[in-house]
């Protein structure tokens, strides 16, 4: 396995018991739910995932993600590339009851016995890390009329990432 290639699935329990560390990058194109929230699917995410057992013997997954994603500037309605990063600590659980008893330091990660889709975890964490609204750092179009035809149509086509996130949460 090249150090830049992440396995599609891993056995999360075995990886935790063996304190495995995965490092590599993943194309944003491979995360369709994330792409739906972006202006385009260019770019990759740099990934570091450390599987471990903590001092209390909980199986955990500590992760760090860094990516640049293309969002829509809410001021000028043009694409803006934003760095996003995420650090997270997940505690592996098999059911809701275990999730509720998990130490507060961890977010629950529901795992089946032997298979965890690595891209799903990364995608979920990136979606949670997206800013609700994106702006150019020095957006010069603050007062641009919103009815300027090209920009206005682009804005109409793209869903507001925040709206989509709300919908996802309600579904859950
Ligand atoms: Zn702008």
Sign of the torsion angle spanned by Cα atoms 5, 8, 14, 19: positive
What residues flank ion ligand 1 with Cβ within 5 A?
73, 75-76, 136, 139
The tokens describing 1, both together, are: 């396995």
Cα(143) to ligand 1 centroid in Å equals 10
Between strands 107-110 and 116-117, the pairing is: unpaired
pLDDT attached to residue 164: 53
Q: Where are the domains of the chain?
A: 9-171
Cα(41) to ligand 1 centroid in Å equals 19
Q: pTM of the entire structure?
A: 0.77
pLDDT attached to residue 146: 52
Cα(72) to ligand 1 centroid in Å equals 8
Cα(137) to ligand 1 centroid in Å equals 8
Q: What parts of the chain have a pLDDT lower than 70?
A: 1-4, 141-172
Cα(169) to ligand 1 centroid in Å equals 28
- Tell me the chain's radius of gyration from C-alpha atoms: 19
Cα(77) to ligand 1 centroid in Å equals 6
Cα(76) to ligand 1 centroid in Å equals 4
Q: Quickly count: other Cβ atoms within 10 Å of residue 104's Cβ.
A: 6
Q: Quickly count: other Cβ atoms within 10 Å of residue 130's Cβ.
A: 21
Cα(162) to ligand 1 centroid in Å equals 17
State the DSSP code for 160: P
Q: Which of 119, 115, 106 is nearest to 14 (CA)?
A: 115
């Amino acid at each position: 396995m090249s150090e830049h290639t992440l396995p599609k699935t891993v056995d999360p329990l075995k990886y935790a018991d063996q304190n495995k560390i995965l490092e590599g990058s993943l194309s944003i194109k491979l995360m369709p739910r994330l792409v739906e929230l972006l202006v385009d699917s260019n770019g990759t995410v740099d990934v570091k995932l450390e599987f471990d057992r903590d001092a209390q013997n909980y199986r955990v997954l500590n992760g760090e993600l860094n990516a640049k994603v293309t969002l829509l500037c809410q001021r000028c309605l043009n694409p803006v590339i934003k760095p996003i990063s995420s650090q997270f600590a997940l505690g592996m659980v098999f059911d809701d009851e275990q999730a509720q008893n998990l130490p507060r330091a961890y977010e629950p990660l529901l795992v089946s016995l032997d298979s965890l889709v690595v891209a799903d975890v990364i995608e979920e964490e990136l979606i949670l890390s997206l800013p609700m609204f994106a702006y150019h750092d020095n957006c010069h179009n603050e007062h641009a009329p919103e009815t300027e035809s090209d920009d206005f149509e682009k804005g109409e086509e793209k869903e507001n990432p925040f709206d989509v996130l709300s919908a996802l949460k309600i579904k859950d």
